[in-house]
């Protein structure tokens, strides 16, 4: 699964979407691409430490800004290789669960600091 972080006022996000469509068709992308609007879903963006849009995230792989065509192709190939390696596959539900866990951890940490 690939997360594409965008915002409403991001012109470069449309450029990256077009590049993704072209590359995923050409390479036969095995993953689903989910767009996450940071204006509407800021808690997910915070959990993934997204500071710039557009940003692509899949597992430990991350690209911020608009990559070159070769860098995007490399990213997709790395993601596809990871999909075939038997590692945990992410779903939108698992991403939201991970975000909740991160938020709970951060809340607990803040509470401990206040109580100290």
The residues that bridge with 2 in the sheet, in sequence order, are: 33
Name the one residue in this structure whose structure tokens are 């991001």.
10
Please give the helix or strand (H or E) that residue 35 lies within, else none: strand 33-37
- Mean predicted lDDT score pLDDT of the chain: 83
Higher-pLDDT residue of 105, 60: 60
Supply the pTM of this predicted model: 0.71
Tell me, what's the pLDDT at 115? 81
Name the one residue in this structure whose structure tokens are 């669960």.
97
Rounded (5°) CA angle 35-101-91: 40
Tell me, what's the pLDDT at 61? 87
Task: List the domain boundaries for the chain.
Answer: 2-115
Average pLDDT over residues 58-75: 92
Higher-pLDDT residue of 8, 26: 8
- Report yes or no: 34 and 91 within 8 Å, Cβ to Cβ: no
Tell me, what's the pLDDT at 87? 47
CATH number at 2-115: 3.40.30.10
């Amino acid at each position: 699964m690939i997360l594409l972080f965008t915002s409403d006022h991001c012109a470069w996000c449309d450029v990256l979407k077009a590049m993704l469509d072209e590359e995923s068709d050409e390479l036969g992308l095995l993953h689903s691409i989910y767009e996450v609007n940071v204006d509407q879903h800021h808690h997910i963006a915070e959990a993934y430490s997204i500071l710039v849009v557009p940003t692509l995230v899949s597992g430990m792989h991350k690209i911020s800004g608009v990559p070159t065509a070769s860098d995007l192709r490399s990213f997709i190939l790395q993601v596809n290789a990871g999909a075939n390696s038997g590692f945990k596959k992410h779903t939108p539900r698992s991403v939201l669960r991970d975000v909740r866990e991160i938020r709970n951890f951060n809340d607990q940490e803040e509470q401990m600091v206040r109580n100290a």
